[in-house]
Structure 1
Amino acid sequence: MTGTVSALELGYSFCPNDTFIFYALHAGRVPAPLPVREVLEDVQTLNEWAAAGRLPITKISYRAYFEVMDRYVALRSGGALGRGVGPLVVAREALGDLNGRRVASPGALTTAELLLRLVSPGVRPVRMRYDEVMPAVARGEVDAGLIIHESRFTYPQYGLMRLLDLGAWWEGETGLPLPLGAILVRRDLPQDVQRGLNAAVRASLEYAYAHPQEPMNYIRRHALEMSDDVMRAHIDLYVNGLSLDVGAEGERAVRELHRRAVEVGAAPPSNLPPFVDLA
């Protein structure tokens, strides 16, 4: 093949876990099977774009992945799964049953809202961008808020209290780590390219682990008004061994989340393999 190969657009969020993982790939510190170009957006926007098939490689909520499994397949590297990482429900004061309550949500296609639906199917979600949730709760515009990302470290600054840890609920129910976000590639990309991209993402994370200070300016540039301490806490929480490879336990967790989503009518069934075949 001759000529210049156009770069594949790689979508991921502004969050420190994503910018930490993808820094080396973005900066050309590790090889990739094809050139890639960063596209940074909030996760709900990436979820919506994936539904339209806009990007060939993209971060996505696992809940949203279940809607596009016919078009995309998840890499085994680069995702966010773990223990103690779940979304929280916060409010200004203690509440009883959440059913019937107006709860600010970061999006219909987020794993967070799926978990809330599993726990309290009668909630009334009020959807907004994730960084608008805590201010809306603090102003009394909603009864409670469903928070994700770095908000789990900062909600006390808004005078809010934790009502429910949805990750702890999931772990207690299943004994499995919680799947939050995946990195998808289009299924119509050649398998050698899919495998090469998986290897590139893993190498990018390994580079960040080996050179932890090098990505910090890149991370800081995209971290909104987050302090360095919160950035590091965010990375430590959401980037772990399951980010290097989802492993057998992580794959079981994803399949169980999908099974439960199908069971409550929140996602369509699929018999397609959820992860790239590295064999």
Structure 2
Amino acid sequence: MISIGHSPDADDLFMYYAIVFGWVGDDLEEKFENQALDIETLNIATIQGIYDVSAISFGAYPFVRENFALLQTGVSFGDGYGPKLIRKKTTQLKKNFRVALSGVHTTNAIIFRLAYPEARIVYKNFLEIESAVISGEVDAGVLIHESILNFDTSLEVEREIWDIWCEKAQEELPLPLGGMALRRSIPLNKAINIESTLTKAVEVAVKNKKILSKMLIERGVIRVDEKELDIYLDLYANKDSISLNDLQKKGINKLFELGFKAGIYDVLLECEDYFIPTGYQALRNS
């Protein structure tokens, strides 16, 4: 049994559930056993080596590089959009404002810290951030996942994380938010098969978006309505989620570079060095 961790947000469920519904993966020697947890819990679980395969923030990957390979499928990027720093309309933020973030290892938290080094950070489950701002527990918070689509009318956007990203990157690159990592101890031929199956699952999901979306809504596993789900999937689970392209890889490398220069990472990584060497399969079959 291959253990897989993914988040309960709509894009992860959408990209994985072609396997749950049996549309993909029948040819695998070992079946998948999935667990849905919030993204920071998954980041920590991957650091601890709990799951064979896991969704992970791209910002967390350098911390697990020795034990996990980076997959090239099941990815979510921002492209002109992304997490939002929100506050009450009546609140004016000071330099050392209190802010709720979704986890120390998340990409949005890393980018936020680059722009607001004096902010006082509280880390919370992403589902608790909006209410923490409304209650006054914190002055602001960064909303992620479906929360960016519909939040309380007493709140407004202070700044888009996308804008901070472009400012720090000094160019408009896709904003690397979520990816997947696979345990290195898994034999290479099996690892290649797992990545191939996950890639097929995302491809099938994207091609059958309306059918799969309806099934997810009918089963009550999605937190948003049909209209919001359609919008959200267009943002984060689309044709660009099937397999990393060169521009996305450049975005990942820019994130790693910014993190290294800020002292967050101890080495400067290039993502291409950490993918599963799929060329092995072609050599093996030649």
> Cα deviation per residue 1:193-224 (whole Å; 9 max; x = unaligned)?
22212211111112112322332355332223
> Do residues 120 (structure 1) and 119 (structure 2) align?
no
> Do residues 162 (structure 1) and 160 (structure 2) align?
no
Deviation at 1:103, TM superposition (A): 0.5
Q: Is the 8 A contact 1:74 1:276 kept in 2?
A: yes
Match of 1:26 among 7, 20, 24: 20
- In 2, the alpha carbon distance for the partners of 1:248 and 1:188 equals 27
2:283 is matched with: none
Q: Which ranges in structure 2 are unaligned for 5 or more consecutive residues?
A: 280-286
Specify the SS of the correspondent of 1:145. Answer: strand
2:100 is matched with: 104
Match of 1:63 among 59, 63, 78: 59
Change in Cα spacing, 1:190 to 1:269, as seen in structure 2 (3 Å) is: same
Match of 2:35 among 39, 45, 51: 39
> Do residues 197 (structure 1) and 194 (structure 2) align?
yes
Match of 1:82 among 78, 83, 105: 78
Q: Is the 8 A contact 1:80 1:179 kept in 2?
A: yes
Q: TM-score, normalised to structure 1's length? A: 0.91
2:284 is matched with: none
Change in Cα spacing, 1:135 to 1:16, as seen in structure 2 (3 Å) is: same
- In 1, the alpha carbon distance for the partners of 2:269 and 2:252 equals 13
> Cα deviation per residue 1:83-111 (whole Å; 9 max; x = unaligned)?
02321100003766653110111111111
> Do residues 239 (structure 1) and 237 (structure 2) align?
yes
Dislocated runs of 4+, deviation >4 Å: 94-98
- In 1, the alpha carbon distance for the partners of 2:94 and 2:264 equals 19
- In 1, the alpha carbon distance for the partners of 2:89 and 2:274 equals 40
- In 1, the alpha carbon distance for the partners of 2:65 and 2:215 equals 31
Specify the SS of the correspondent of 2:150. Answer: helix
Matching residue's letter, 2:241: S
Change in Cα spacing, 1:97 to 1:274, as seen in structure 2 (3 Å) is: farther
Q: TM-score, normalised to structure 2's length? A: 0.88
- In 2, the alpha carbon distance for the partners of 1:278 and 1:158 equals 48
- In 1, the alpha carbon distance for the partners of 2:165 and 2:124 equals 24
> Sequence identity of aligned pairs in percent?
25
Q: Is the 8 A contact 1:85 1:238 kept in 2?
A: no
